[in-house]
Structure 1
Amino acid sequence: MTEVLLKRAGDVPMSRALALGIVITDGVFSLYWALSAAYLSGLVDVPDAYLFSGYHDRHLVAWNWSFFPLDLAATAFGAWAILASRRQGEWRTLAAVSLALWSTAGGMAVAYWTLMGEFDPSWFLPNLVVFVWPLFFLPGLVRLRTAQPPPP
């Protein structure tokens, strides 16, 4: 029975929904950070209406950029998981790390905007999505990972 469970868990490929979620999230955030960097360097102008509340306050700019390493790590692990998805078993841990990082980043932003009492849908809702969508996949990845036999 255990061998059947382990074989079944080891043969599970990455779902298209998970791959699509990772690709979309990684792509959107890569675009966001590229645009943010271009804006800060003066290469592009973004109307104030598209910036979050207080964007010109240096403390909020620093707060925003404090997410960059977290988002970069989530993107790197997500891309690595996609590339590793052709190899049996390797992709699950990478995807779980990426999803945990995305959910953390989204949760931190949602907590901040909630504490500030600011519910601008253009900033609050995307962060809420980034917080929630990984939670649909993480339990299954953890269950599959715990069903794996230890490496020889």
Structure 2
Amino acid sequence: MKTLKILFLITDIGFIIYWLVTFLELIPNEYLFNDYNNPILVAWNWSFFPLDILVSITGLTSLYLYKKGNNNWSKMALISLVLTFCAGLQAISFWAFSSDFDITWWIPNLFLLIYPLFFIPNLLRKVI
């Protein structure tokens, strides 16, 4: 649980910070993804907002439930991990189909895609 807790905190707080920074337009231009000012890509990026915030809510809730000794923490953690995987998959798919291989956008999204796979099987056994 210690490793999962750390990864949840990194991911969940990271999403909240990313969306605050994005909303406040604090990302330097050199770090923006290609064609960032294209209205379609802006809409695409913001389409992740509900998913990412739901990841943060479920992940932080699972940590709270775990701390309180509530066994429902594992269900909430599983939901958070599946949503995290989906967020990473959607972003990586987009960048792959666009033939855009900017490592600064691929690394965090590969992280979102891969790390849940190490925890989902055990949580599934616990929940089922």
TM-score with structure 2 setting the length: 0.96
Question: In structure 2, how many angstroms separate the alpha carbons of the residues matched to 1:101 and 1:88?
Answer: 21
Residue of structure 1 equivalent to 2:83? 101
Deviation at 1:47, TM superposition (A): 2.7
CA RMSD of aligned residues (A): 0.9
Residue 40 of structure 2 corresponds to residue 54 of structure 1: no
Question: In structure 2, how many angstroms separate the alpha carbons of the residues matched to 1:127 and 1:75?
Answer: 15
Residue of structure 2 equivalent to 1:66? 47
Unaligned runs of 5+ in 2: none
List aligned pairs for 1:32-47, cutoff 5 A.
Answer: 32-39=18-25, 44=26, 46-47=27-28
- The one-letter code matched in structure 1 to 2:125 is R
TM-score with structure 1 setting the length: 0.81
Residue 113 of structure 2 corresponds to residue 127 of structure 1: no
Match of 1:25 among 11, 15, 18: 11
Percent of aligned pairs sharing the same letter: 37
Task: Map Cα deviations across residues 118-144 of structure 1 (whole Å, 9 max, x no partner).
Answer: 110000111011111011000100011
Unaligned runs of 5+ in 1: 1-14, 147-152
How many aligned positions are there? Answer: 127
